[in-house]
């Protein structure tokens, strides 16, 4: 059974519909006993880092996530669920979970591309350049584009945690991978067939990387 962590951070309905689309059973919960019973966990989210971390601490889900990482079972972070797995977020000056060393940073104010000022947040389709192969991106075309909506991006201090990067006036980390964890800044559940393939791959992934 797949568990989607419910921590009042939105976006859960879209993830649930995507799992239904690919024929996967799931439960939506903030109950740690139910989460313990899951074979894999999705940690989605949209919203502000400070508010999200306050709820996670109240429910002790921050410490639960740290312990879950040690089990070796697959964990998927999406958007805000990617940003707050790092040590710190510039959004709300927030101490975060610390599953991956590093921080979440805001895009520079005057971000440009070919002389044109870019809008923040980045909102729309963009590609991901993989730095190495990973089961999560099996059968996904290198030319595939994914849907992004964000003003902040993950900046891990360990370069080996960077699985993929994206260009938006600068090159930033858009996919993290560490052991049984994969986390992406884009929304696979809103990214059409390539996104559904990523989710299908996650549902089949053992948590190991060959």
Q: What angle do CA 122, 146, 209 make, to 5 degrees?
A: 120
Tell me the catalytic residues: 79, 187, 189
CA atoms within 13 A on the CB side of 122: 28
pLDDT tens, position by position, 32-89: 999 999 999 999 999 899 999 999 999 999 999 999 999 999 999 999 999 999 999 9
Q: Can you tell me the distance from the alpha carbon of 22 to that of 9, in angstroms, rounded to the nearest whole number?
A: 23
Q: Can you tell me the distance from the alpha carbon of 125 to that of 186, in angstroms, rounded to the nearest whole number?
A: 9
Per-residue pLDDT band at 171 (split at 50, 70, 90)? very high
Computed over every residue of the chain, the mean pLDDT equals 96
Burial degree of 8 (CB within 10 A; 0-12, 13-18, 19+): middle
Per-residue pLDDT band at 210 (split at 50, 70, 90)? low
Per-residue pLDDT band at 21 (split at 50, 70, 90)? very high
pTM to 2 decimal places: 0.96
DSSP 8-state assignment for residue 120: S
Considering the domain 2-204 in this protein, what is its CATH number?
Answer: 3.40.50.880
């Amino acid at each position: 059974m797949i568990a989607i962590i419910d921590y009042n951070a939105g976006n859960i309905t879209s993830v649930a519909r995507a799992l239904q689309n690919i024929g996967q059973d799931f439960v939506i919960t903030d109950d740690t006993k139910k989460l313990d019973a899951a074979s894999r966990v999705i940690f989605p989210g949209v919203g502000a880092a400070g508010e999200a971390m306050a709820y996670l601490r109240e429910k002790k889900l921050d410490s639960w996530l740290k312990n879950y990482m040690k089990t070796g079972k697959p964990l998927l972070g999406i958007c805000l669920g990617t940003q707050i797995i790092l040590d710190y977020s510039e959004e709300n000056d927030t101490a975060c979970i610390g599953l991956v060393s590093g921080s979440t940073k805001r895009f520079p104010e005057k971000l440009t591309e070919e002389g044109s000022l870019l809008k923040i947040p980045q909102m729309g389709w963009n590609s991901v350049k993989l730095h190495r192969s990973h089961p999560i991106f099996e059968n996904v075309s290198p030319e595939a584009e994914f849907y992004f909506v964000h003003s902040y991006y993950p900046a891990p201090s360990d370069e080996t945690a960077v699985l993929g990067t994206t260009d938006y006036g600068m090159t930033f980390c858009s996919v993290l991978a560490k052991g049984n964890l994969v986390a992406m800044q884009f929304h696979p559940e809103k990214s059409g067939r390539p996104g559904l393939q990523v989710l299908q791959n996650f549902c089949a992934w053992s948590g190991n990387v060959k």
